[in-house]
Copies of this chain bind each other. A is one copy, B any other.
Amino acid sequence: MSRVLLSFKSYSLAEREEKLEAEVTRELALSFYRKMVLARTLEDELKRRYESFEMRGELHLGRGQEAIPAGVCELLSDRDFVSATHRCIAHAVCKGLPLDGIIAELYGRASGVCRGKGGHMHLASSSKRFLATGIVGGGIPIAAGAALAFKTLGEDSVAVAFFGDGAANQGTFHESLNLASIYRLPVVFVLEDNQYAFSTRRSESTAVESNAIRALGYSMPALEVDGNDVIAVYTAAKWAVERARRGEGPSLLDCKTYRLSPHLEIVDTEEYRPEGEKEKWEKLDPVRRLEEQAVELKLASKEDFEQIKAEARKLVEEAFQRALSSPLPAPEEAFRDIFSGE
């Protein structure tokens, strides 16, 4: 008999700190604020009307998560591509899709962004390069593909995939991050970790403390970001988007946040939430957070906020009016758009 003592290589984690600087002008702060408040105002109004059964289908709102699309989309132009999820309304707003087109879509009207064919999980705009999908994890490789095209075509556009903590357990997450990394694609993976996938807690479905750790498996830089702090989101996204535009490849932003909305309106009883959890997060509301920060940094005042809120209410109201004056599509319309030239 022989006793052998062997040594095997293994790996462990170390935490690092990444320090990033950003300049926040008054203009920028107000732009963040405008986006978040517009999304919030629209969603609040949609919720109210959905509860009186004005719209069909499901409705997934993202109250409390607005800082993420607002902070990221600040860095994007119409030439950049975004894939979003079932919870896509704030993202559509922040990417610049017209409010009335969004509303009309949710009402199934002919003037909807998808002419009534898509519905609320599937807002889309080719001119804004925006696409949402109702399949969890489905949009991740699609964003990588847009990035591949940008690289091949020599465009300096970037692609952004927004997706949830639940989606990070789908195979497409793994495959897409690997693909993006080996081809060094200009794509930013923005994980909205709101700690739940429907009723399922991240901590019970995800075998790792933070999805940022998973990026190591793709040699991809990643940051954990306070997703309720729009300035932090913007700062991290600036780093990620600029890297991508410079041809330095993909990155992952793991944005920690919390969904104050139910998973879907009306049906979800939210019994899965531990007592007091939601209340705690309500205090971290990103809209209020930005108000405090902007005042502290002397970038804006209470009056600015009131004005923007009033503007948002007006914009939303007018958009509803325009949207609801649009007719329902004619039944024959159902049979068009399956193939081109039909």
On A, residues with C-beta under 8 Å from B are 1-26, 169-175, 177-178, 181-182, 204-210, 212-225, 231-232, 235-236, 297-299
Contacts and interface: CB of A to CB of B under 8 A. Distances in A.
B11 A213 contact: yes
How many copies of this kind of chain does the complex include? 2
Given A172-B171, A175-B169, A206 B225 contact: no
B23 A2 contact: yes
Contacts of A212: 9-11
Smallest CB-CB A-B distances: 9 pairs: A171-B171, A174-B174, A181-B207, A214-B217, A8-B223, A9-B224, A2-B297, A207-B218, A8-B18
Contacts of A204: 182
A1 B19 contact: no
A93 B110 CA distance: 65
21 contacts: A1-B25, A1-B299, A2-B24, A4-B21, A4-B23, A5-B20, A7-B17, A7-B20, A8-B17, A9-B224, A11-B210, A11-B212, A13-B13, A171-B172, A174-B174, A177-B207, A182-B206, A207-B220, A208-B217, A213-B217, A214-B216
B11 A222 contact: yes
B171 A178 contact: no
Nearest to A217: B214
Interface core residue of A9, A205, A214, A220 (most chain B CB under 10 Å): A9
Given A3-B22, A178-B207, A216-B217, 20 more contacts: A1-B26, A2-B299, A5-B20, A5-B21, A6-B20, A6-B231, A6-B232, A7-B19, A8-B20, A9-B16, A9-B18, A9-B223, A9-B224, A11-B14, A11-B15, A11-B222, A12-B13, A14-B14, A169-B175, A213-B216
Contacts of A9: 15-18, 210, 212, 223-224
Nearest to A235: B6
A228 to B, nearest CB: 14
Nearest to A1: B25
